[in-house]
Structure 1
Amino acid sequence: MGRIVGGAGVAAILAAALLLGFSGLVAAPGSLIVDGERPWVDEGHPPGSRPIGNDLTALFLPRHLWQSWWWHQGARIPRWDPRGFAGRPNAGNPQAGIWYPPTWLSWTSGSPAAPGWLTVAHLFWAGLGAAALGRAVGLGGAGATAAGAVFMVNPYVIAQVCEGHLPHVWAASWMPWAFLGAVRMRRGERIGRVLLPTSLAMALLAGHPQEGLYLALALGAWAAADGLAALRGRPGPMRSGQVVARWGIALGLGVGLAAVDWVPALAARPWVAGPLGGEGGGGSGPYHLHGSNAWQLLSPRALGGPSDYLGRGNWWESLCSIGWAPLVLLAVGVAGFPERRAVLGWCALLGGSLVHAAGEGLGLAAIVGGLPGFEGVRVPARSLFLAATAAAVLAGMGVEVVSRTIDRPRAVRRARRYGATVALIALAVALAAALPIERGSHDDSIRSLAIRSAMACRRIAGDGLTVSSALATGIALVWAAIRPAEGREAAWFLVGVAIVELAATAAMAVPLCPPERFLSPDAVSRAIARVRPPGAFRVRALDRIYSDLDAWRDGVEKTNLNDLFQLRRPAELYRALYPIFDEPGPRSGTPRTLDPRLAREALDRLGVGLVVTDRPVRLPVGPVVASASRGGEPISIRAHPGALPRAYVVPDAEVVPGEEEGAALDRLADVDPIAVVLMGLDPLAGLEGPRQPFTPARFEAVDPDLVVVRVATEAPGLLVVLDAWMPGWSASVDGEPAPVCRGDHAFRVVPITRGGSHEVVLTYRAPGLGIGSAITAASLAVMLAGAARRGTRKSRGDDPLGLPLSGGGRPPPGEEAG
């Protein structure tokens, strides 16, 4: 009962810390977590190209609102996503997160604020997991509370929330639970057989696979270390094989539980554009730790905030900070926690994560990037989620060291060392802050690093929260030194200091904005509404002028989305449209060469009815039909009369040798699209008699997975639907099955073999979804069956890395009540 009460107390403290950190959201629960006033600094984008907002408003919120609308149509999860790039799979998109059960709750709400509150719930869940992990490795109530708080409101984690990387945080919130499952599995406890695979699967399903992959890699390294350590025992090889098999089954079940997501992704992979093929670009770029990030160890505000960041890359991807008080606790834990093998294990996770986060220059990130399945990971610094997990446990160990202080001389020496260290740091900061230098450019020169360091020191010297935390931490250590019998009270005081510091840091960092700032129609939307063409059409616009969120609100389909995931063939055609606005290539500052003939064909075949721009168009497209203003800049909306209808019939196919290799793309500008369609074969070959001339068809999108086209013909013809072709689409003409072929490099073609009034129905079934669902169901059954078997508790000597304290991980005497 004491442990239950203690657990409730820890949960209450963590909940209070979280509510303090998100006090602004508590006061305005309908707000979005986004800065609606200032664009943020991001070295990975050309200057001036980053709009106001974050990834929540640019990417995740449009997807959430679109999926939520279909969810309200009867718990519908579309397998196909028709928005942007002429369509792409929804089941098979690793970032869609459609099989992650918690997101179904946010879809049920339908509120724009729901993803933010779902993130707060995940942070609380992560805090509970880190606290439970602390208890499992032998920490008392104070240490477990510190571990939970240090992960839950870690500055790096909060920075990811601020940038709108919500699925990243959802995935990372399962990391402490996965490690907890590993600890319990290694002891032979049945709960570990369920907790480890389930947590790994949830991390993989959350909607951003990079964090789940890093978690799987860390657990795999732990399994390898266990296997090697078991070789030292008797019988070595047999015991090692048993250990590795146990780990392999657990990790295999975790991957199997997520098969409903990754099997369709693998099935779609041959047709998906590479990481450099998307509009958003790719590559890690500057998104890793740099030398100047070391100053953030002293204060998360050392290099400024997201809109005035003076470091390399950006603020949110490489914020190397856990707060001052947690950093001191971590150092105390590393230096003084008695279970040295446990300390070394968590230090290995922390060090490995930091080395990987430093980028390819130190080698580890390059090695990891070459592993199967890791080709698409783009930001090495996101391994800092693993570093946050290790730091949380080590900080909890530091609390235990302080709470068990009984050696007065040793405690006095520790307090003196702390005072001397702080004094030296303060002197160095003061001297550097006094240097008469100004901010330099973002380069790797020694001078630029010195300039950023001096400016960081100025910020640290004026950071009242960090100074107050340093003083309070010193008081706690002196208290423990003077009154060693009150070490537990001093430890709780230190925990309070850490929680207040972290929660206050979060409260200062989290930006809030009314949803109307991004969801209310503006002048551009109203102008488009006045001149929108009849029927189905697409809009070509820069995202910073007309975003995905604007398009969803207005019921308009754009040619592009602010997303890397797209099908290769439509992406190859769409690339011709980058240069018409003098747009640089993805993640580069170099404008692309314009091919006017191919660009015009891309506009025609993608059905672009309107072009929205704030600059001259390098390609004549049509007259200005409306004007608007955004941010004081004039916006013009041009009609494109050459846009083809969304569906139409043409008489003939021109067979293009090498169509599979993309030869049709080079031929698009040489043929009349209303006369022929370029194909690898003619599905009407052998039919005699006249063919149906060009005839527009009526396009009806019943839902994303079901398209109905109605057309009347007098002779055979080829129905061209200007949506992306991919395996999984099937068709029927007047109720009879018909093939869905590929034409004009990227689009769907259905042969119509006779005249009459036709109803063509196209249906999508995601490739691999059935197999993936079966593997997930089988993995769930195996996991539950294995958990039902009676487990045996492992002895102390069977734990190769020595994670539990003596007593099998029980809290020390006197700590049962937390």
Structure 2
Amino acid sequence: MSEQKRSEQKLSEQERSDLAAVSAPWPVAKVFLIVCAAWLALSWPWLSGVVTVPWDAKAHFHPQLQFLASALHKGLSPFWTPFVFAGSPQVADPQSLIFSPPFALIALINPTPDFRWSDGALLGSLLVGALCLVLVFRDRNWHPGGAVVCALAFAFGASAAWRIQHVGQVLSLAYFAITLLLLSRALERGSWSYGFFAGIVAGFMVLGRDQVALIGVYVLAGLVIAAIAMAKQPLRALKGSMMPLSLGVLGAVLVAAIPILLTAFLAQESNRPMIDLAGAGKGSLHPASLLTGLIANLYGAAGPLENFWGPPSPAWEARFGPVDLYLARNMSVLYLGLLPLLMIIGVGVVRGGLWRREIVALSVAAILVLVYALGRYTPGFQLMFAALPGIDLYRRPADALFILGALFAILGGYFTHLVLTDTAPRPRPWQIALEAALLGAAFGLAIWLAWTTGRLGVAALPAITALLCLLLVAGALVAARGLALQGAGMAATLILAMTMTIDLSVNNGPSESTALPSSRYEVLRADSSNETIALLKRETARTAGPDRRDRIELAGIDFHWPNASLVHGLDNTLGYNPLRLGLYSAATGAGDHVALPDQRTFSALMPSYRSLLADMLGLRFIATGVPVEQIDKALKPGDLVQIARTADAFVYENPRALPRVLLVTNAQQADFDAILKSGQWPAGFDPRRIVLLDRAPPKLPGGPAGPGTVSIRDYGTTDVTLEADAPAGGFVVLNDVWQPWWQVEVDGKPAELLRANVIFRAVQVPPGRSTIRFTFRPFEGLFQAIGERIRKANPPPV
């Protein structure tokens, strides 16, 4: 048979195969079943409750879920919490989970969700994102085997696996995948409904208000532009996309506009600084970290901590010099399975598959995101930092590994599709040699780095594991390709799914970075029997009075302790949150968290637990992981009284703590900024007799002086009702944190909310009995702030 006839026969066979593929139904249900089975197998350690997602997922986010659930089931608003930092506006906090559908749904269903609920929400969100990527493959009629590789690499690869404790970023990643599906369908089908719902989901992604969401928005916008520009008729494509995209913008605005504005206005009065280029550069991905794409635990990121030797560890810097990076050990791991990696390197890079028309936009996006992640190690990040709005709000370019993992997962799945359908570019001998050389060079470099750093013993097992997985993947790929070309596509898909599951369970499975025993976080259970918590509950109940609601402080006990007060309803002067009211932080020295004793810093106005501000806060009980004198070196014998020594903490009482509410009859104006800076109260100031205001005090109506009283009638989250009996009138001082979105009424009539004693709230009351109600109204406060901003920007003509 001549070469021409053989080519014609081959072409006709390919055409028949293509026609058969188009006409045959794509096995969505079967692929979903395979992905769900693999997801269950890989997720089971967490879902079983044996281990739980640790670190921030428990120290920060799980208490937020507990507070949200408790507030909703008690009929209280979750928009403000009194249980951390002496009061915090949850509604404006992007990490409060109020606007997170999966966690909000859990809070509505379960008043006391345990760790499996919060872990399940995380893993379930990744599953939904993975299934959406399966539908992306289905819409393009790409091979089911490629879809499975993509889905599993997305859900259990790179930062999705290694940084699962960063709840908000994981949710943003899941929303990215969902939006990608809806947006692609909106453009391909000219669908208004898909466009609108793409905007809704994108709105929830933006509500994460994290760097993953920001990068995801830029990537999605770039893909939209590329899809229109690369269409056969760009102008027609642009015209057809206008309505879906407009409805998408509308959907996103409906979901995200008000919460984002709340956060933006909160940020103006928060502790959160703007990040400069040098500061952001400290969160860059070190180029040597790219080797973790081949050997997952090369640098010992899985633990224990002393084994970690990658940049920026002491072991690395001792050999190669300082790198000045600020990254945790698990923030630089790129591993998403050897199969997608081999596909990207071999079919994509070496054979040029990256530049195929149907995938080139994703390839360019992945390259740009990689450049972003490398941060200061490329000039590209500096250009992006200067040109793209929002970049200077974030400190860690390495966060881009979330989106990079998703893009690599899609590319790896696509190139697997090419191999299984025999449409991949045929490798030439030099290309095969180059692929082998690249793999060999990467392994060689990894071993050399480990040897020269003196950590060959740590790297040996991960390297051997990678080699064994390489053999497994190569064998599985050959078998799957053979079955696929024989028409057994689902058998090939199943082989690849099993291979990916084994690979990811071995290399990206539970580790010290991603899974710790659930028992370690027992104090964060709503039904915890922890001795320290039980003691603090008893003591605060014992000292409670009509005018008194004492606060506690948890300092230097452990990383997950500061937000335990959210779980157990204890009014805490500290907590764990990167975003806090700036006024409160400046006044008290409150930092992000107080896991270690030296992280409890003080301020000029609160230089010690033995200070007037501590007393005014009503800080009665202090639990510390070490003797309190090691934290507060200014204390003198007798300043605090030790009342207990529990298994976790030393517990002290401050007998000078003042009541939560006070009635005073004298007021004077003071310079609060000067007081904050100097730490000096005005001479003769006694908060039981005088209230300091930031303006000239209003005049009292006068009348016969006599003993007055004030008491707490009801204390909720966003409503505080007081009863006052002031014979001569006066000022009711509520020693809760001042924030402009609070409003106050006296006997049902609006009154002026006064900022008192630098950080507290007060209101003037008339002679006689009166009822005072403080109410947190963030939306009304936001609209008033916007109106004030507009008025200042557009003053009336003179």
TM-score by length of 2: 0.80
Match of 2:615 among 593, 604, 607: 604
What is the match of residue 291 of structure 1? Answer: 287
What is the match of residue 800 of structure 1? Answer: none
Partners in 2 of 1:336 and 1:580 — Cα distance?
51
Say yes or no: does 1:381 pair with 2:404.
Answer: no
Say yes or no: does 1:536 pair with 2:532.
Answer: no
Structure 1 SS opposite 2:517? coil
Partners in 1 of 2:424 and 2:257 — Cα distance?
54
Q: Which amino acid aligns with 1:263?
A: L
**Range with greater deviation from structure 2 (294-303 or 514-523):** 514-523
Highest RCO, 1 vs 2 (Cα 8 Å, sep ≥ 6): 1
Matches within 5 A, 1:618-767: 618-620=633-635, 622-630=639-647, 635-656=649-670, 659=672, 666-668=679-681, 670=683, 671-685=685-699, 687-689=701-703, 697-754=710-767, 756-767=768-779
What is the match of residue 310 of structure 1? Answer: 309
Structure 2 SS opposite 1:258? helix
Partners in 2 of 1:180 and 1:234 — Cα distance?
21
CA contact (8 A) 1:652 1:717 kept: yes
Partners in 2 of 1:338 and 1:576 — Cα distance?
50
CA contact (8 A) 1:720 1:750 kept: yes
Structure 1 SS opposite 2:41? helix
Q: How many Å apart are 1:703 and its aligned residue?
A: 1.9
Q: How many Å apart are 1:328 and its aligned residue?
A: 0.7
Q: How many Å apart are 1:333 and its aligned residue?
A: 4.2
Match of 2:504 among 502, 505, 523: 502
What is the match of residue 438 of structure 1? Answer: 454
Q: How many Å apart are 1:737 and its aligned residue?
A: 2.9
Structure 2 SS opposite 1:301? coil
Q: 1:480 to 1:541 in 2, by over 3 A?
A: closer
What is the match of residue 511 of structure 1? Answer: 515
CA contact (8 A) 2:77 2:718 kept: no
Partners in 2 of 1:83 and 1:517 — Cα distance?
19
Cα offsets for 1:639-685 (capped at 9, x unmatched) = 2222221110122111125x578779755364222232221234532
Cα offsets for 1:368-389 (capped at 9, x unmatched) = 5565444432332222121122
What is the match of residue 163 of structure 2? Answer: 160
CA contact (8 A) 2:591 2:599 kept: no
Matches within 5 A, 1:769-784: none
What is the match of residue 175 of structure 1? Answer: 176
CA contact (8 A) 1:604 1:644 kept: yes
Q: How many Å apart are 1:496 and its aligned residue?
A: 3.8
What is the match of residue 462 of structure 1? Answer: 464
Partners in 1 of 2:355 and 2:441 — Cα distance?
30
Q: 1:716 to 1:31 in 2, by over 3 A?
A: farther
What is the match of residue 399 of structure 1? Answer: 416
CA contact (8 A) 2:175 2:205 kept: yes
What is the match of residue 358 of structure 1? Answer: 374
Cα offsets for 1:335-363 (capped at 9, x unmatched) = 35497133321122212222222234435
CA contact (8 A) 2:35 2:497 kept: no
Matched-pair identity in %: 20
What is the match of residue 274 of structure 1? Answer: 272
CA contact (8 A) 1:273 1:566 kept: yes
Cα offsets for 1:686-729 (capped at 9, x unmatched) = 63456667x66323553201101223222111111011122232
Partners in 1 of 2:439 and 2:331 — Cα distance?
28
Partners in 2 of 1:184 and 1:578 — Cα distance?
42
Structure 2 SS opposite 1:723? coil
CA contact (8 A) 1:707 1:763 kept: yes
What is the match of residue 15 of structure 1? Answer: 36
Say yes or no: does 1:116 pair with 2:135.
Answer: no
Q: 1:77 to 1:373 in 2, by over 3 A?
A: farther
Partners in 2 of 1:265 and 1:89 — Cα distance?
10
Structure 1 SS opposite 2:715? strand
CA contact (8 A) 2:66 2:567 kept: no
TM-score by length of 1: 0.78
What is the match of residue 255 of structure 1? Answer: 253
Partners in 1 of 2:122 and 2:365 — Cα distance?
25
Partners in 2 of 1:770 and 1:287 — Cα distance?
33
Structure 2 SS opposite 1:359? helix
What is the match of residue 572 of structure 2? Answer: 558
Q: How many Å apart are 1:234 and its aligned residue?
A: 7.7
Q: 1:677 to 1:455 in 2, by over 3 A?
A: farther
Q: Which amino acid aligns with 2:375?
A: G
Q: 1:752 to 1:77 in 2, by over 3 A?
A: closer
Gaps of 5+ in 2: 1-21, 313-326, 785-798
What is the match of residue 812 of structure 1? Answer: none
Q: How many Å apart are 1:59 and its aligned residue?
A: 0.8
Cα offsets for 1:381-406 (capped at 9, x unmatched) = 22212112211111111112211327
The count of aligned residue pairs is 716
What is the match of residue 574 of structure 1? Answer: 588
Q: How many Å apart are 1:54 and its aligned residue?
A: 0.8
CA contact (8 A) 1:412 1:482 kept: no
Structure 2 SS opposite 1:326? helix
Matches within 5 A, 1:469-488: 469-476=469-476, 485-486=485-486
Partners in 1 of 2:475 and 2:607 — Cα distance?
71
